[in-house]
Structure 1
């Protein structure tokens, strides 16, 4: 697995807080205090290009759930009481197949809230689940749909001992400006402006039995919400291999052909496999260097010039230019926050 943790755009923080703001569940002062408690500098909220670490985001989500007592963090008209997703998970245990587990989970979810209808879908060789709004307000909550897509996919993958490749994800809304972030959380081809939001798997894969126990569930719940927010081992099989090779090649930073040779495939084959995971070689390389730069700037005192060399830039000027493109700020300014 790659050792450099991913970072997230600050826009994700704003969208995560939108539920609490809209419902009036928390004052601006309380939200500011919560953001600070998560280790996120308040100044970053005003900078559109800023990024935070996955650990900071994990802390923010945990604090929000605790403060609101709502696992939907304010996005549903009726709060999902703490333990709701655990209840859904328990309803899926012991199912003879993932398909049956999915039906049980969808039924339990419908009993817990009235804003969204979740049901099983099938089309040709594909099967999966769809989420449809029961009111116009819920249909506009794109963050809620994104969150539920990931949660229910991870539940099914967890029941299958951690592996359930997605064939395609349809989103029932326009492609958002932050869509590049999707490559971090959704390893699959994506389609936007679809009739509804749906996740599609190979139909045969859902015939596998649910292989988890109550003890397994209790163990995984102790790791929440980090095991939902952060990419899991094996979630991006090809992308993870590329990241590991790139990290190991620092400060030379191999190019596409070099990495392809390490994996024993052609460059075109590597690009094709990465495309199936919703990314590209250059995107992975840029994101890895960006995240490594942010981690080093926020946790250490390495000189900017030295960091530029470690990241494979010709000089500090080139690094400054790239970092400002990534975050809207120079490395020195970012460090001072």
Structure 2
């Protein structure tokens, strides 16, 4: 069984689109084409799927002619990332490829730069400068680190493990979301925004890629670099996988700890270090499954309640309202209206 992917809060979508050079009518049209109902964006607890966010991202790229929509001081015109990747693919190893990226950025930007530095056994990738007029400093920093991690992983043909991520901004209210965005411990209020990886990765040879592989990577953005697969090195991800396979059972922290070969105290301590708890992992899993089933299937509300481990439909209703601010039926109806406006086919990042 394929695991249910994590969903994103609508607050993230709102932050992403806020301040873009778009008319209200154009933004509403693009949101609908991404199968997102604008009324859901007004609900603080509502969620969107990875596919919806990726589609909206691609639509904005095409509409604004900017491969990182509105995040840098100047637009990244279509083809920019393709040129960058061609330069990096000709490098002998990741360290050389990253230096080429830094040089490329210096040519492209006056108000953005990042630095790669060895620090003992680790290598840091730190953002040293970003546009002071950036509409969301948090988004610029998060998405650039995500882009670096995604491209670097693709360049060497393996997903780079992240030892830790530091952010220079304060801990946000939705900090619990980070465990499904950055596969490693995240710290806030740090001196600089930086991502730390094993320094040995810098010696990894750059993998040879075909034109079709390059095209597929670009067309798959941002889903192939923003979202990460569940990571077996994170206990919260292993717990999520365990709970997903046993949603029909009455799982508790004691049985989960036994299944994961650790004590209840050890499980709770590791989850806390990853910024979450047993109940949060369980609730987030059930919420993500419910949202995706409501959006993508015709299963009855009762069937979804059973599938997510609720004994009664009323209990499911209460939980879903607490998670999203909406009842399951109202959520499905609103999402259904948006799905009637199909997203255009063939939206790509490069030609």
Instruction: Output the TM-score relative to the length of structure 1.
Output: 0.88
Q: 2:293 aligns with which of 292, 296, 299?
A: 296
Q: Is the 8 A contact 1:187 1:276 kept in 2?
A: no
- Indicate yes or no: 2:242 matched with 1:225: no
1:213 and 1:224, CA in 2 relative to 1: closer, same or farther beyond 3 A? same
- Indicate yes or no: 2:255 matched with 1:258: yes
Summarize deviations over 1:196-255 as a string: whole Å, max 9, x none.
Answer: 211111222322222242444333223222212332365866555433332221311533
1:59 and 1:156, CA in 2 relative to 1: closer, same or farther beyond 3 A? same
Q: Is the 8 A contact 1:6 1:53 kept in 2?
A: yes
Q: 2:243 aligns with which of 235, 246, 256?
A: 246
* SS of aligned partner of 2:200: helix
RMSD value, Cα: 2.6
Q: How does 1:1-337 map to 2 (within 5 A)?
A: 2-20=2-20, 25-133=21-129, 135-138=131-134, 141-215=137-211, 216-232=213-229, 234=231, 238-252=235-249, 254-268=251-265, 270=267, 279-337=276-334
Name which of structure 1's ranges 178-187 and 126-135 shifts more when overlaid on structure 2: 126-135
1:217 and 1:61, CA in 2 relative to 1: closer, same or farther beyond 3 A? same
* SS of aligned partner of 2:242: helix
Segments of structure 1 that go 5 or more residues without pairing to the other structure are none
Q: Distance in 2 between matches of 1:139 and 1:16?
A: 9
Instruction: Output the TM-score relative to the length of structure 2.
Output: 0.85
Q: Distance in 2 between matches of 1:212 and 1:272?
A: 42
Name which of structure 1's ranges 96-105 and 76-85 shifts more when overlaid on structure 2: 96-105
Q: Is the 8 A contact 1:160 1:210 kept in 2?
A: yes
Q: Is the 8 A contact 2:111 2:131 kept in 1?
A: yes
Alignment coverage as a number of residue pairs: 333
Segments of structure 2 that go 5 or more residues without pairing to the other structure are 335-351
Q: Distance in 2 between matches of 1:119 and 1:301?
A: 49
Name which of structure 1's ranges 225-234 and 320-329 shifts more when overlaid on structure 2: 225-234
